Amino acid sequence: MLDDDAISDHPDAAPTDAGGVAVLPAVDPTAPEHFVNRELSWVDFDRRVLELAQDPHTRLLERAKFAAIFASNLDEFFMIRVAGLHAKVWAENRRRGPDGRTADQVLDELREKLEPLVQEHAATVDHDILPALREHGIRLARHDELDPEQQAVLKERFQNRIYPVLTPLAVGLGRPFPYISNLSLNLGVLVRDPDTRQTVFARIKLPTEVVDRLEEVVVEGTQTAEPGATREHVFVPLEEIVEAHLDQLFPGMEILDRGMFRVTRDADFEISDDADDVKRALEAELRNRRFGEIVRVEIDGSVSGALRTEIVEQLGVEERQVYDLPGLLDLTALWQVVKVPGHNELLEAPWRAVTHPRLREGDDQQADVFAAMRRGDVLVHHPYDSFHTSVERFLDQAAADRDVLAIKMTVYRTNADSTLLPALVRASEKGKQTVALVELKARFDEQANIKWAQVLEDTGVHVVYGHPALKTHAKVILVVRREGEKVRHYLHIGTGNYHAKTANLYTDFGLFTRDQVLGADVADLFNQLTGFAKPGAFRKALVAPNGLRDGLLEQIERTVEAHRAGQPTRIRLKMNSIVDRASIHALYRASQAGVPIDINVRGICCLRAGVPGLSETIRVRSVLGRFLEHSRIYAFERGDEKIALMGSADIMERNLDNRVELVVPVSDPAARDELLDALDRAFTDEDGSWELGADDRWHRVAPQDPENPRGLQRGLMELHASRAREADQE
């Protein structure tokens, strides 16, 4: 080993400047090794979710919830991202990605990374969460663990509700292997005729569409560990009930083996740019979705080799697509357990959103939203601020206001019981011009959006579906109001969907503004989307796909120039994912120039942080918690200048090149300061934060005071509750 004094004489030592400080060689920010693979980074994100399920400081049913989220995340990941990789392999596409890997190489690395992770997930549920739940009177039981009375109850339930909807399908001459639908739960059975000794394979699809995945057997009078409780909740997996009664499905036959398996199929699709009817083309693609290629097979790890071989060979998949799992398949079933009544102590106390102080007036605590906007911009932060008394109130008031001439709105995801779309219907019935730009291609919400579009069209609302090649992901409502001799624009611009339920679960900002320049920009945007015109330049707004990336890159470059001129500078970004190569390269160059950069990213991060000579000034944090962090904020500081932008876009190629996105500056000082305060809190969170190291590993942030960790979400709940109390006292 070389001692310190010998380092400068070593032929591989770094050169030094006149002061003896090591000078690192220039690092090419565009080199493939400086770009983290997108799919592998996503796996790191789902691991962070799993760590929350494993956290003993998290309440027990919240841990079960995170275990269920991990499972549903993984399902979607395979249906979309892994499916895309397989499609490239099957098409013999050997092109290397920005990280230098081929699709085939990524699939191999994913398998290596996911195999231990899914095993860890299963072990966490089986050996940690479920035993702990049992101590609180919530039990997931096997059929043979039940007493005779309980088994009798399930036998009757099987006869009356389950057996009539089961269809065993044997495989043999003239009986091909049945089609296995996406995400269906299937029981594979090896059956032998005792007379002929012939063995056949049969498949039974579990009817989870019409029967609960977990059948609850309530046992009255059973004392549990919960003080004062006299009732235990017992859940029995549907497959356990079916397996216990296989003799009724295969009378006179010997059951040699049985085991569960589950198939995941490619669920992605594209609409042709030449489609002349987006709605009809999408409906055709939705019909084809369930016939996508198989990308994953999950098999009960306890089945025999013969049964496993039969399943794998009949499905025709590669071994790297097969996952042998212990315990229950499809752990999204834990959502049923999370919703069990009577165990509030195992969940976080419910949060009640408050009305923003600027939107409170009178006994109903609801103000004239238009009047509030005339006094200045209003920034709401969901779920801390109420969606109902802000966004829904805004649209309700617009629909009822005789001076409102037009309402235009984008719809990406919404919910059936929201008041937003009915408000559009009421506005249309009153003769106002109403336009809904409905994005039919919102993944996994396509069918719901088709139904909403039909309802709106039938009631006279102008419905526009957008361009086949672009998703309209912008979140904006434009209200045109007559005021005296003039017409004024009132806007709501958000970072999240117009979805009342997710507004209680996701953290998102919404800006209410009467800024007439932004109003003109949004009016032009709607005209471009609903009419026939080439995209033009916007005054204040940054709009994808034609100007958003350039606008963000310009802000980065201006910050670099200010830093070189000796001004104090800083870049802070908060988003769901950062993938776009051009943006990452620009951030690397800014770091090489010495600009301090803080990035808060919930999910995918293709940027490497803290690498000498490349990204030494870049710090990346990820915050996960009871609410899903969904807001997007882009902040740039140059001397006394503070620029804060918010909107619908993440820094991903799909957002910047293939979607209609809207990001706007927040100019009102109070609103801007609130955005920046949220950034401050995000970068000091200790409650559910991870920091990305130069080794590309995420490390959980340890709180300085374990008994009282600083929490982004906890702190914002306290802040908004305090504001509400102060408003009540005024």
User: Which tokens hold the place of 419?
Assistant: 């008041």
- 556 and 684, same domain (yes or no): yes
Residue 542 CB neighbours (<10 A): 24
What is the span of the domain harbouring residue 636?
542-716
Residue 646 CB neighbours (<10 A): 28
- 323 and 367, same domain (yes or no): no
Q: What is the DSSP letter of 504?
A: G
How far apart are alpha carbons 662 and 627 in whole angstroms?
23
For residues 510 and 390, the answer to whether their CB atoms sit within 8 Å is yes
Which residue has tokens 């005071």? 705
Alpha helices in 290-381 (DSSP H): 305-315, 334-338, 369-374
- 551 and 629, same domain (yes or no): yes
Give the pLDDT confidence score for residue 172 in this predicted structure.
81
* Cα within 13 Å of Cα(394), Cβ side: 32
For residues 237 and 214, the answer to whether their CB atoms sit within 8 Å is yes
Asked if residue 4 belongs to a domain, the reply is no
Q: Would the pLDDT of 657 be above 70? A: yes
Residue pLDDT, tens place only, 392-429: 999 999 999 999 999 999 988 777 677 888 899 999 99
CATH of the domain at 252: 3.30.1840.10
- In one-letter notation, the amino acid at residue 642 is K
Indicate the length of the chain as a whole number. 730
User: In terms of pLDDT, which residue wins out, 229 or 51?
Assistant: 51
**Overall pTM > 0.95:** no
Residue ending a domain, among 465, 495, 530, is: 530
Q: Does residue 473 have an active-site annotation?
A: yes
- 73 and 150, same domain (yes or no): yes
Q: Return the exposure string of 345-370: e unless at least 16 CB atoms fall within 10 Å of the residue's CB, then b.
A: ebbbeeeebbbbbbbbeeeebbbebb
How far apart are alpha carbons 682 and 672 in whole angstroms?
16
Asked if residue 535 belongs to a domain, the reply is no
Asked if residue 17 belongs to a domain, the reply is no
Asked if residue 158 belongs to a domain, the reply is yes
Residue pLDDT, tens place only, 254-268: 999 999 999 999 987
Residues paired with residue 236 on neighbouring β-strands, in sequence order? 215
Q: Could you give the number of structural domains in the chain?
A: 3
Give the pLDDT confidence score for residue 610 in this predicted structure.
96
Which residue has tokens 């035993």? 131
The torsion defined by the Cα of 649, 654, 658 and 660, in degrees rounded to 10, comes to -10
Asked if residue 341 belongs to a domain, the reply is yes
Residue ending a domain, among 474, 501, 530, is: 530
Residue 697: which residues within 8 A CB-CB, separation 6 or more? none
- 134 and 213, same domain (yes or no): yes
- 572 and 690, same domain (yes or no): yes
Asked if residue 22 belongs to a domain, the reply is no
- 473 and 562, same domain (yes or no): no
How far apart are alpha carbons 383 and 377 in whole angstroms?
19
Give the pLDDT confidence score for residue 441 in this predicted structure.
61
- 99 and 189, same domain (yes or no): yes
Contacts from 151-156 at CB under 8 Å and sequence distance 24+? Answer: 151/244, 153/217, 154/215, 154/217, 154/236, 154/241, 154/244, 155/245
- 336 and 389, same domain (yes or no): no
Q: Would the pLDDT of 20 be above 60? A: no
User: Which tokens hold the place of 120?
Assistant: 């860890």
- 329 and 368, same domain (yes or no): no
Triad 110, 112, 113: Cα angle to 5°:
65
Identified catalytic residue from 86, 343, 473, 630: 473
Which residue has tokens 């969170």? 685
How far apart are alpha carbons 231 and 63 in whole angstroms?
22
Give the pLDDT confidence score for residue 259 in this predicted structure.
94
CATH of the domain at 492: 3.30.870.10
Q: What are the backbone dihedrals phi and psi of residue 172, each rounded to the nearest 5 degrees, phi first?
A: 180, -160
How far apart are alpha carbons 667 and 661 in whole angstroms?
19
The torsion defined by the Cα of 93, 95, 99 and 102, in degrees rounded to 10, comes to 40
Residues paired with residue 628 on neighbouring β-strands, in sequence order? 506
Give the pLDDT confidence score for residue 451 in this predicted structure.
75
Q: Would the pLDDT of 24 be above 60? A: no
How far apart are alpha carbons 37 and 100 in whole angstroms?
9
How far apart are alpha carbons 200 and 193 in whole angstroms?
9
Q: What are the backbone dihedrals phi and psi of residue 144, each rounded to the nearest 5 degrees, phi first?
A: -75, -5
Q: Would the pLDDT of 647 be above 70? A: yes
Give the pLDDT confidence score for residue 579 in this predicted structure.
97
Label residue 706 by pLDDT band (50, 70, 90): confident
- 118 and 63, same domain (yes or no): yes
Label residue 366 by pLDDT band (50, 70, 90): low
Residue 289 CB neighbours (<10 A): 16
For residues 460 and 426, the answer to whether their CB atoms sit within 8 Å is no
Share of the chain above pLDDT 90, in %: 77
- 512 and 583, same domain (yes or no): no
Q: What is the mean pLDDT of residues 628-644?
A: 97
Residue pLDDT, tens place only, 116-168: 999 999 999 999 999 999 999 999 999 999 999 999 999 999 999 999 999 99
Triad 68, 66, 140: Cα angle to 5°:
50
Asked if residue 11 belongs to a domain, the reply is no
How far apart are alpha carbons 364 and 360 in whole angstroms?
8
Residue ending a domain, among 530, 553, 574, is: 530
Q: Would the pLDDT of 8 be above 50? A: no
Asked if residue 10 belongs to a domain, the reply is no
